[in-house]
Structure 1
Amino acid sequence: MSWAWLPLGSHGDVSWQQVSDVVERCDPSVHVCAGRVGYGIEGFRSTHRQAVRTQELAAAAKPAPQFTDFSAVAPIALMATNMDDMRAWVWSVLGPLAVDDENSARLRETAQIFLDTSCSYTATASAQILHKNTVQYRIRKAEEIMGHPVQKGHTDLEIALRAVQYLGSTLLRTSPA
């Protein structure tokens, strides 16, 4: 394991996207976790703490990503200090939709995009290259499985879906409860 502090904020010459692109072209065993850009000694300390949290999260993810930026996963990284409690919370939010299978994954992805697009069936259909009726069917199915509308408690649902998107099978059941 190695630590490096890159002066990305000082010159603007290199972005996290460029770092990510380079890492993803490297050997698959190379993993990089990054904190936000910070300034001065306190910025260094803060960035280091964020990178450590991000590293802990990336180590728990299945499969582990090659590049993880704290900015993209901050809420999940901060929540993941107790994985057992986080898993129980995700299961309580998603209910039977927290199963590690293809159908549930498809429904979770559609629900996440639906919430990201302000509950627009048309925008979700466009993003997934599906017919609007297919999106409506999937949302109804997800609601039926969870036992409540997608919009009910949508903040918790959005966070739980993001956590599962990032941590994958680490947070899911292997079979329905």
Structure 2
Amino acid sequence: MSQSPSLRFRAAAVADIPAIVALVESAYRGDSGRLGWTTESDLLDGQRTDVEGVAALIGVDGSQVLLAEHDGALLACCHVAVKQGDGYFGMFAVNPLSQKAGLGKALLGEAERIAAQEWRCPVMRMTVIEQRADLIAWYERRGYRRTGQFEPFPYGDERFGIPRRDDLRFEWLAKNLAQVSA
């Protein structure tokens, strides 16, 4: 784990699950999500995650839900894992009232450090809804590149939300982690 004077990173425990679910939902859905710039409220209704989904990520080898806290308050989270030898980054959420303060960049950097240095992953990969142009541009500014690989959105599976349009799909982004492990 890493720590700075104002921001502390740590792996989530089972006791953190309700707070993680609340944070992810607040960042991506409903009116609270509209307070920040990462909302998916125009694309999806319904849930973004649930207790069972988060619980399945905790305590698994090669998987960590990473938390960013300030004075004990949860401000941001993400899931980082090893999948097929590469790092995988997902479930990224920053409290809408704390966005644009550099928390997301710091948390992404810590996730990349874990994947590169602790797990020796050569690449970090993630999926982003293709229609999220501002978010894709944010990742591109941090060294991620569009791969041209896509996956269909899981229409009909409400665990991933209720689509408000019929053209959603995920695009894979990737970043070489060689410079992170140096």
**TM-score of the alignment, normalized to the shorter chain, above 0.5:** no
TM-score range, shorter chain: under 0.3
Give me the TM-score of the superposition, normalised by structure 1: 0.24
Rg (Cα) greater in structure:
1
Give me the TM-score of the superposition, normalised by structure 2: 0.24
